[in-house]
């Protein structure tokens, strides 16, 4: 038995990348998984893989009303949520702010911020009432380190860090942890979604210095397995071969 065995863990964005790896990792640790994502076929395959300890929900996290309906109808075995992992997120486009598509900006805000708020608002009151729970929010190095074309994506991730810390402030004295995990570059479908091109993502991910989804899953599991007296407020993890760039100058 460990901190996770028998616990019910909601993982948003479990159809790919970090979320899929985290769902698998925590299932191996004995957790029951509620896996969210829009792609129903992938969710079904995950459910077949993980068996009866997995419940799937095909839903867009930006649709707060659909989330509320589905969580109200959770099967009893999954109805007491111990852990929420707010992982679903997207970058859309690689354009400078002055050239960017306003609809893509809105979609990033609706998913990366709106989805986190909707799930947190739905599940946090139960955690507080039961005096037990954990919320892990997946931020990004992009929330701390600006780069050209990061504009709204990075800003949504800065929101995630500050929202997590403000949750900590509100939850003081409660047995509910709030944790922000901020990865550097991880090889997932993220770049293909961002650019709309798997070829350019393959070229990007050809770089040898990357992390893999399992690395982030291990960090999430570590934070959760720690004794409950310990709350990792935030953790930033980069590939060993990645660091920061110096401030840049305009070309003449």
Q: Is beta strand 234-237 parallel, antiparallel or unpaired with respect to 176-183?
A: parallel
Q: Tell how far CA 118 is from the center of its chain.
A: 14
Q: Is 105 among the residues that bind ligand NDP (CB under 6 A)? A: no
Which of ligand 8X3, ligand NDP, none binds 164 (CB below 5-8 Å, type-dependent)? Answer: none
The candidate with the shortest Cα–Cα distance to 110, out of 71, 205, 102, is 102
Helix or strand holding residue 235 (H, E): strand 234-237
Residues in touch with ligand 8X3 (CB under 6 A): 140-142, 150, 185
Q: Smallest gap, in angstroms, from Cβ of residue 141 to ligand NDP?
A: 6
Which of ligand 8X3, ligand NDP, none binds 138 (CB below 5-8 Å, type-dependent)? Answer: ligand NDP
Partners of 176 in beta bridges: 133
Q: Is 137 among the residues that bind ligand NDP (CB under 6 A)? A: no
Q: Is 38 among the residues that bind ligand NDP (CB under 6 A)? A: yes
Q: Which residue has the closest beta carbon to ligand 8X3?
A: 140
Partners of 211 in beta bridges: 186
- Which CB sits closer to ligand NDP, 4 or 62? 62
Choosing from 8, 22, 87, 151, the residue that interacts with ligand NDP (CB under 6 A) is 87
Q: Smallest gap, in angstroms, from Cβ of residue 247 to ligand NDP?
A: 22
Q: How many residues are there in the chain?
A: 252
Q: Which of 147, 153, 205, 212 is catalytic?
A: 153
153 tagged catalytic = yes
- Which CB sits closer to ligand 8X3, 67 or 216? 216
Helix or strand holding residue 83 (H, E): strand 83-86
Q: What value does the CA radius of gyration of the chain take, rounded to a whole number of Å?
A: 18
Instruction: Give me 133's structure tokens.
Output: 């729970």
Stretch that binds ligand NDP, among 58-66, 128-136, 167-175, 218-226 (CB under 6 A): 58-66
The candidate with the shortest Cα–Cα distance to 80, out of 55, 62, 117, 43, is 55
DSSP 101: -
Cβ 121 vs Cβ 163: under 8 Å? no
- Which CB sits closer to ligand 8X3, 29 or 218? 218
Choosing from 9, 10, 17, 84, the residue that interacts with ligand NDP (CB under 6 A) is 17
Q: Is 151 among the residues that bind ligand NDP (CB under 6 A)? A: no
The candidate with the shortest Cα–Cα distance to 21, out of 241, 217, 223, is 217
Q: Is 85 among the residues that bind ligand NDP (CB under 6 A)? A: no
Between CA 238 and CA 196 the distance in angstroms is 24
Between CA 171 and CA 85 the distance in angstroms is 17
Q: Is 214 among the residues that bind ligand NDP (CB under 6 A)? A: no
Note the residues at the interface with ligand NDP (CB under 6 A): 12-19, 36-39, 60-62, 87-90, 111, 138, 140, 183, 185-186, 188-190, 193
**Catalytic positions:** 153
């Amino acid at each position: 038995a460990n901190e996770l065995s028998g616990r019910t863990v909601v993982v948003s964005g479990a159809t790919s990348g970090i979320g899929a790896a985290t769902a698998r990792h925590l299932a191996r640790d004995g957790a029951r998984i509620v896996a969210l994502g829009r792609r129903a076929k992938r969710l079904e395959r995950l459910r077949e893989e993980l068996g009866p300890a997995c419940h799937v929900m095909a839903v867009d996290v930006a649709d707060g009303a659909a989330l509320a309906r589905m969580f109200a109808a959770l099967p009893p075995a999954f109805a007491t949520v111990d852990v929420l992992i707010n992982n679903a997120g997207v970058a859309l486009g690689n354009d400078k702010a002055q050239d960017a598509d306003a609809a893509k900006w809105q979609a990033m805000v609706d998913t990366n911020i709106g989805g986190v708020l909707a799930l947190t608002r739905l599940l946090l009151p139960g955690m507080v009432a039961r005096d037990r729970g954990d919320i892990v929010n997946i931020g990004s190095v992009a929330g701390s380190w600006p780069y050209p074309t990061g504009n709204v994506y990075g800003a949504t991730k800065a929101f995630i860090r500050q929202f997590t810390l403000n949750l900590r402030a509100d939850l003081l004295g409660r047995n509910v942890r709030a944790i922000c995990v901020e990865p550097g570059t991880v090889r997932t479908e993220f770049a293909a979604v961002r650019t709309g091109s798997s070829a350019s993502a393959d070229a990007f991910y050809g770089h040898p210095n990357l992390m893999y989804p399992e690395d982030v899953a291990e960090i999430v599991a570590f934070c959760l397995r720690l004794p409950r007296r310990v709350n990792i407020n935030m953790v930033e993890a980069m590939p060993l071969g990645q660091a920061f760039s110096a401030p840049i100058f305009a070309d003449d």
